[in-house]
Structure 1
Amino acid sequence: MRIPGIEPELQRAAETIIRAGFKAFLVGGAVRDRFLGRMTSDYDIATDATPDQCLRLFPHAIPTGVKHGTITVIPRSRRFKIEITTFRIESDYRDGRHPDSVTFVDDITQDLSRRDFTINAMAINLENGTFVDPFDGRADIAARLVRAVGNPTARFQEDGLRTLRAIRFAAQLEFSIDPATLDAVAECRDRLACISSERIRDEFSKMICSPVPSRALRLLVDTQTILYIIPELLECVDVRQPERHRHDVFNHLAATVDAVSAENLSEERLLILRLAGLFHDIGKSRTARISENGEISFHRHELVSETIAREALVRLKYPNAVIDRVCHLVRHHMFNYQPDWSDAAVRRFLARVGLDALEDLFALRLADTIATMGAPVSWPLIAELKSRIEKIVKDGEALSLRDLAVNGHDLAAIGIPKGREMGAMLSELLDAVLEDPSLNTREHLLRIAKSKYFHVNE
């Protein structure tokens, strides 16, 4: 039987199983997403066929987790993958993540009973279209509720990562969490100590890139699960800011992350900008000062924020390229352009920030401003700065060492030794060119280098 809305390649895989005399059920997120009208990128089929029988049916499949009953089939189009798993029940999770043993069974209801949340414990029989929902997952979808299957404490003791998955689903789907399930998240948060940094990072990244990430951040703080991700955020709770701010530091960070629009951004840029939004003021808790007249200040908090960001992101094992880009934005987010900036000041700003980071820095500043003011504001000064930058770029003015009319070989040829001294000299030459672009000729720069290094005036 062909079921409406089922991918043809998925249907063909199911028919291969059914023709061999086995059952095939669509399970997991794909069923949930059908009811939510969301796109699905990967599919899960549950079957009573054993892993060895599945491998015989799909000889080119990847034996992803045969021990636990799972193989992976990549359809010809390669647009998605299909994980095929034998019906099973699980027992004992001594490592707080993986079952010590699995037992293969022949009943779909038993298989669904081991799953984390009711919204993920539904199935569709791919032979006749029958819907199987033993734990009222569809009703919870209608109620926009994340609820554990059975005893929530037992579910989270089995797998500590489920505490974060509950929060992630609430953020991604904009659902609430059932009170008993939420209490169990807080109660079982120490199980996260058994989970690898990489798995925690992946769940956190999905939260940060969700439609309303502040929902996740507040749940992480309320349940104290944040202690196992970015405990430094707790330092920001109730840290007051000057009156122009609507929020304390923590809620300002959460609002800034929300204000980073996902529109026209790749997944990587969205993650980087939202992480930068989360960390940009995190150092305020450690730099807060209140003067005798009651004025609040956070002197050079951006440098402390950069340090905290780097430590946290390294701890979570984010890629170095992501860490560097986030930290660069955090370090430079406090620029304060004024119309009286000279052209040289604009060039120095560009040299510090880099053209490749400029668009992201402006996006971070916009999100920061929206979080502070509560709404988008007019940006005439930023528009003016962008106009001045466009002219500098159009004129091809030097902004980095590679733009100079001389290089290390030229300096070595006049007797300046390679190493620290040559690096310092190149930096001095760039500074001179940033001040006066007309100096960026080989003749001028070599004359300046000789004057500065050999104290020779030609």
Structure 2
Amino acid sequence: MTLEQLHRADIPRPILDVLHQLRERGFAVFLVGGCVRDILRGVAPKDFDVASSALPQEVQGAFKKVIPTGIQHGTVTVVIGGNHVEVTTFRSEGDYLDGRRPSSVTFERDITRDLSRRDFTINAMAYDPIGRELVDPFGGMADLQAKLIRCVRSPLERFSEDGLRPLRAVRFAAVLGFSLDPATRDAIPPTLPIFKKVALERVREEFVKLLLSPRAELGLTLLQETGLLEVFLPELAGAGEDAARLARAAAQAAPAEVEIRLAALLADLVRGAPARDIALRLKFPTKTADTLGVLTEHAFLENRTGDSDPSLRRVLAQVGPALLEPLLAAAKARVEVRQPDRLPAFLGLQDRLRALLAAKPPLTTKELALSGKDIMTTLGIGPSPQVGEATRFLLEAVLDDPTLNESERLKGLLKTWQAGKGA
């Protein structure tokens, strides 16, 4: 991790063109934040943030096409060669009154003033690739080397300004595999009242990044230990020590897909509708919530290893073909962590479920060989509740024996069923 990595970085031509043009007009201009951090880590940046001493109107005067995307906060978008490059004026900020945003923004000409408002030292570095200069007033590079998440200046002040920052600190630790600086960690519990002001949509975004990271178990543990988890996921925070530990381990063992990891995390604590309600509370999309409800309801597949084929076809009907693989993944993660001795039997069940589904049995009323109209004709009745009752009878019959799903055989079953009801 050296300056040479920054000097050799592959910076897109449109970014360099913007930097050159602003420098030629006498303005200071830097790459800032996450892109500098990632280059030093040897990771290709997802995007490049540009900060400059040029005021928004000065940036507008330097280029032919500029979009005032967030001009009140100093951000404009330069359109150059068909590419969009955001440029933000150096700034300092007024007091944070709502726990999320500054009450005012003051434009600055000094990059250090701009960096001093940022959250963590590893995000408070600026690099000028033209002058080959790194500005690192708060020791971000040393913290990168030490694998440390540390607030810029006072952690209590940083966390009191923006209630999302404590969760971001834990998320960075999980995603990067870093430790929390002791003072930064100690500042989280006393600033939880500020964290509680944060919109749950923002909390969900950070939580998902943590949950899908390679070190989700570490992140979940830090959430528990710092008190953050109690604020937005009390169901897990309030579980017993062993239950919470196993839930975290199951989430880590599951594939990095949000519904699967959530199901592995929550299934042994809440099942079905309550799990769905948690997802909705955290502002997940309704589809995600519905999926989580299904996966947690049926996640205990290790208890079905002795089930008959008809019973397993009913599981497939309840879960739906599209969710079989997510269900198997969540269930397997749970078994690996909680009952590893039952894993061979579970894998056998997994093979059976996949084979049953591959045989394409009828699992819904739409797949029956008789339509609702056919059923009414066979029974000699009109629209009535009896049609639904007959349809459910036929579905149960073909779940028991899929070979019955032929029109003539179903008609024979219906007549027998009707005669039995008449008796």
Q: Same fold (TM over 0.5)?
A: yes
2:331 to 349, 365, 369: 365
1:90-239 to structure 2, matched below 5 A, reads: 90-238=93-241
Give the Cα separation in 2 of the matches to 1:252 and 1:74: 51
Aligned-residue sequence identity (percent) comes to 40
The yes-or-no answer on 1:404 pairing with 2:368 is: yes
Q: For residue 251 of structure 1, what is the aligned residue in structure 2?
A: 245
- How far 1:440 sits from its partner (Å)? 0.6
Letter in 2 for 1:271: V
The yes-or-no answer on 1:278 pairing with 2:289 is: no
Q: What whole-Å deviation, never above 9, does each CA across 1:204-235 have from its counterpart, x for those lacking one?
A: 11110111112121111111111322111122
* Residue aligned with 1:188, SS: helix
The yes-or-no answer on 1:350 pairing with 2:281 is: no
CA contact (8 A) 1:145 1:175 kept: yes
Q: For residue 53 of structure 2, what is the aligned residue in structure 1?
A: 48
- How far 1:122 sits from its partner (Å)? 0.4
1:314 to 256, 280, 283: 280
- After superposing the two structures, state which structure 1 stretch, 382-391 or 202-211, moved more: 382-391
* Residue aligned with 1:124, SS: strand
1:336 to 302, 305, 311: 302
The yes-or-no answer on 1:381 pairing with 2:381 is: no
* Residue aligned with 1:385, SS: helix
Give the Cα separation in 2 of the matches to 1:74 and 1:259: 44
Give the Cα separation in 1 of the matches to 2:79 and 2:391: 54
Query: Cα gap change, 1:57/1:444 in structure 2, threshold over 3 Å: closer, same or farther?
Result: farther
Query: Cα gap change, 1:278/1:382 in structure 2, threshold over 3 Å: closer, same or farther?
Result: closer
CA contact (8 A) 1:63 1:70 kept: yes
- How far 1:416 sits from its partner (Å)? 5.0
Give the Cα separation in 1 of the matches to 2:29 and 2:341: 55
Give the Cα separation in 2 of the matches to 1:363 and 1:188: 37
The yes-or-no answer on 1:39 pairing with 2:44 is: yes
Q: What whole-Å deviation, never above 9, does each CA across 1:55-75 have from its counterpart, x for those lacking one?
A: 444555543321111134577
- How far 1:389 sits from its partner (Å)? 3.8
Give the Cα separation in 2 of the matches to 1:417 and 1:317: 44
* Residue aligned with 2:213, SS: coil
- How far 1:383 sits from its partner (Å)? 4.0
Structure 2 residues without counterparts, runs of 5 or longer:
1-5
Query: Cα gap change, 1:434/1:27 in structure 2, threshold over 3 Å: closer, same or farther?
Result: same
* Residue aligned with 1:200, SS: helix
1:70-109 to structure 2, matched below 5 A, reads: 70-73=75-78, 82-109=85-112
CA contact (8 A) 2:56 2:89 kept: yes
Give the Cα separation in 2 of the matches to 1:417 and 1:50: 76
Letter in 1 for 2:391: L
* Residue aligned with 2:100, SS: coil
Q: What whole-Å deviation, never above 9, does each CA across 1:117-149 have from its counterpart, x for those lacking one?
A: 111000101331100000001111111111111
Give the Cα separation in 2 of the matches to 1:171 and 1:17: 37
Query: Cα gap change, 1:89/1:394 in structure 2, threshold over 3 Å: closer, same or farther?
Result: closer
Q: What whole-Å deviation, never above 9, does each CA across 1:415-454 have from its counterpart, x for those lacking one?
A: 5555754334322211100112221111222333344357
- After superposing the two structures, state which structure 1 stretch, 344-353 or 313-322, moved more: 344-353
Q: For residue 3 of structure 2, what is the aligned residue in structure 1?
A: none
- After superposing the two structures, state which structure 1 stretch, 364-373 or 32-41, moved more: 364-373
Give the Cα separation in 1 of the matches to 2:354 and 2:166: 48
Q: What whole-Å deviation, never above 9, does each CA across 1:267-319 have from its counterpart, x for those lacking one?
A: xxx11111111111113xxxxxxxxxxxxxxxxxxxxx333322221111101
Give the Cα separation in 2 of the matches to 1:134 and 1:253: 41
Give the Cα separation in 2 of the matches to 1:58 and 1:452: 80
Give the aligned CA root-mean-square deviation in angstroms: 2.5
Q: What whole-Å deviation, never above 9, does each CA across 1:69-94 have from its counterpart, x for those lacking one?
A: 1134577687xx64321000001111
CA contact (8 A) 1:3 1:128 kept: no
* Residue aligned with 2:334, SS: helix
CA contact (8 A) 1:24 1:127 kept: no
Query: Cα gap change, 1:347/1:94 in structure 2, threshold over 3 Å: closer, same or farther?
Result: same
The yes-or-no answer on 1:4 pairing with 2:14 is: no
1:21 to 22, 26, 49: 26
Give the Cα separation in 2 of the matches to 1:132 and 1:145: 19
- How far 1:23 sits from its partner (Å)? 1.9
Structure number with the higher helix fraction is: 2
Q: What whole-Å deviation, never above 9, does each CA across 1:385-412 have from its counterpart, x for those lacking one?
A: 3443454344432222222111223234
Query: Cα gap change, 1:419/1:280 in structure 2, threshold over 3 Å: closer, same or farther?
Result: farther
Q: For residue 294 of structure 1, what is the aligned residue in structure 2?
A: none
* Residue aligned with 2:302, SS: coil
Give the Cα separation in 2 of the matches to 1:75 and 1:325: 43
- How far 1:255 sits from its partner (Å)? 0.5
- After superposing the two structures, state which structure 1 stretch, 96-105 or 36-45, moved more: 36-45
Letter in 2 for 1:254: R
What TM-score, normalized to structure 1?
0.84
Query: Cα gap change, 1:455/1:52 in structure 2, threshold over 3 Å: closer, same or farther?
Result: farther
Give the Cα separation in 2 of the matches to 1:390 and 1:314: 30
Query: Cα gap change, 1:215/1:352 in structure 2, threshold over 3 Å: closer, same or farther?
Result: same
Query: Cα gap change, 1:89/1:453 in structure 2, threshold over 3 Å: closer, same or farther?
Result: farther
The yes-or-no answer on 1:438 pairing with 2:414 is: no
CA contact (8 A) 2:335 2:343 kept: no
Query: Cα gap change, 1:372/1:341 in structure 2, threshold over 3 Å: closer, same or farther?
Result: closer
- After superposing the two structures, state which structure 1 stretch, 114-123 or 58-67, moved more: 58-67
Query: Cα gap change, 1:380/1:216 in structure 2, threshold over 3 Å: closer, same or farther?
Result: closer
Give the Cα separation in 1 of the matches to 2:127 and 2:29: 9
Q: For residue 288 of structure 1, what is the aligned residue in structure 2?
A: none
Letter in 1 for 2:366: R
